[in-house]
Chains A and B, each alone.
Chain A
């Protein structure tokens, strides 16, 4: 599997997660989000940057609960809750956000 950004092909697994974390850039994020029917706004980017910070700090792709907790710590309670994240990334916020941010699929995430 792969996605095409700027005429170059980028490898993904069968669920659409990047195989190589280093392939990620903003254009890749926009393309993955587009395939998930999400148009990225500033609010989305804020979360993308935050989850990448999580990964840099802990070397973990967060599942929902740690993601919510971390968001609450960093951005406050209005954003650190599952309703807010569901609005931005409908369905399965943690999985979608990891995917768009170019991170591995979270383990143990339903």
Chain B
């Protein structure tokens, strides 16, 4: 088990500062998971996207699919995962911090 933190973000970065705050406290070794409305973060370009690319970043594929985002140009480096892998991620990290 790694000693890092899994940060989950479930709000759109276009209306809410959850992702921005998360990036303020996440270390390089931490992971970020976008879920629910948080998956809109996968559309980001520019500064926040740059910060995301430095860390291991995941998004729930079902949430992207539901919102019609799979056909859009997504931020590179984001790994699309299913719910089973989400559970696995929570066990692979020492801590989970939810941003909502």
State yes or no: do A and B touch (Cβ within 8 Å): no
Residue numbers of B with Cβ under 8 A of A are none
